[in-house]
């Protein structure tokens, strides 16, 4: 499993379109928003949590089709499926590699991006916490979508259409947690809901992804 994770991390840094792409897109969104809504600091402060979460979600979406596509194209996926490794563990490692190369850099860079949008001081901790809890769910759900569309021609668009509705609950509670934290309001409810969604998809979706892959690889 460690060797598989190391291989996926190397592919993300070498193949292009993986490591750094999501972070760059996230930065572009943050830079462009003030141009579209105006430089008023009060307005930017109000919309900062939602904009940052939306940018993170779209950045995660960019590299989803590469989670399994490269292994499908070179035949590695067939070899892994017939190896002694449990397929549920394989898709979990794929999701972890995606998060380490896409979600984790955004979590680390979030305070700087929040500064660009004039995020209120109390909101930095809650923004980072919400992204740290919520982005793993984005990667796991994205891996499930990638398993559904693996091997399909031009499956990237279909993948986006399938995954976006599944991302909505995470987006709602993640942005709400960051917004309430920035405003000094109670954060218990969105925090518990966001954590519940993440733990739920981590517990269930690897099995669904493995089942879908077994069907697609027959």
Region at 213 (left for phi over 0; alpha for psi -120 to 50; beta for the rest): alpha
DSSP code at position 121: T
Region at 17 (left for phi over 0; alpha for psi -120 to 50; beta for the rest): left
Q: For residue 42, what pLDDT is reported?
A: 80
Q: Averaged over 127-135, what is the pLDDT? A: 96
Position with higher pLDDT, 124 vs 72: 124
Position with higher pLDDT, 150 vs 110: 110
- pLDDT band at 49; cut points 50, 70, 90: very high
Encoding tokens for residue 196?
């519940």
Across 109-128, b (16+ Cβ under 10 Å) vs e yields: bbeebbeebbbbeebbebbb
The answer to which of 13-22, 36-45, 86-95, 125-134 has the lowest mean pLDDT is 13-22
Q: With 80 as the cut, is the pLDDT of residue 72 above it?
A: no
Cα angle vertex 196, ends 191, 202, to 5°? 130
Torsion angle (degrees, nearest 10) of CA 17, 22, 23, 29: 130
Q: For residue 155, what pLDDT is reported?
A: 62
Q: For residue 15, what pLDDT is reported?
A: 56
Distance from C-alpha of 127 to C-alpha of 49, rounded to nearest angstrom: 7
Asked if 140 and 59 touch (Cβ cutoff 8 Å), the reply is no
Q: Give pLDDT tens digits for 83-111.
A: 777 888 889 988 998 899 889 999 999 99
The 3-state DSSP class for residue 204 equals helix
Domain ranges of the chain: 2-12+24-217
Q: Give pLDDT tens digits for 174-207.
A: 999 999 999 989 999 999 999 999 999 999 999 9
Encoding tokens for residue 146?
């990638």
Asked if 37 and 43 touch (Cβ cutoff 8 Å), the reply is yes
Q: What whole-number percentage of the chain has pLDDT above 90?
A: 42
Q: For residue 173, what pLDDT is reported?
A: 97
Distances (CA, A) of 115 to 25, 157, 205, 213: 17, 33, 35, 42
């Amino acid at each position: 499993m460690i060797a598989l994770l190391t291989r996926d991390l190397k592919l993300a840094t070498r193949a292009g379109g993986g490591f750094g792409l999501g972070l760059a897109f996230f930065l572009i969104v943050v830079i462009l928003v003030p141009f579209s809504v105006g430089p008023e600091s009060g307005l930017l402060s109000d919309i900062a949590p939602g904009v940052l979460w939306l940018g993170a979600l779209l950045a995660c979406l960019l590299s989803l089709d590469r989670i399994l596509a490269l292994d499908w194209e070179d035949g590695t996926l067939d070899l892994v499926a017939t190896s002694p490794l449990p397929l549920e563990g394989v898709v979990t490692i794929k999701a972890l590699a995606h998060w380490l190369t896409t979600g984790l850099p955004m979590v680390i860079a979030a305070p700087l991006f929040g500064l660009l949008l004039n995020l209120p001081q109390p909101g930095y901790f809650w923004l980072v916490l919400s992204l740290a809890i919520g982005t793993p769910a984005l990667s796991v759900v994205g891996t499930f979508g990638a398993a559904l569309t693996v091997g399909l021609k031009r499956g990237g668009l279909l993948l986006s259409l399938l995954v976006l509705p599944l991302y909505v609950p995470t987006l709602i509670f993640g942005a709400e947690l960051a917004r309430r934290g920035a405003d000094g309001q109670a954060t218990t409810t969105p925090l518990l809901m966001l954590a519940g969604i993440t733990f739920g998809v981590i517990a269930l979706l690897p099995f669904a992804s493995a089942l879908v892959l077994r069907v697609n690889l027959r």
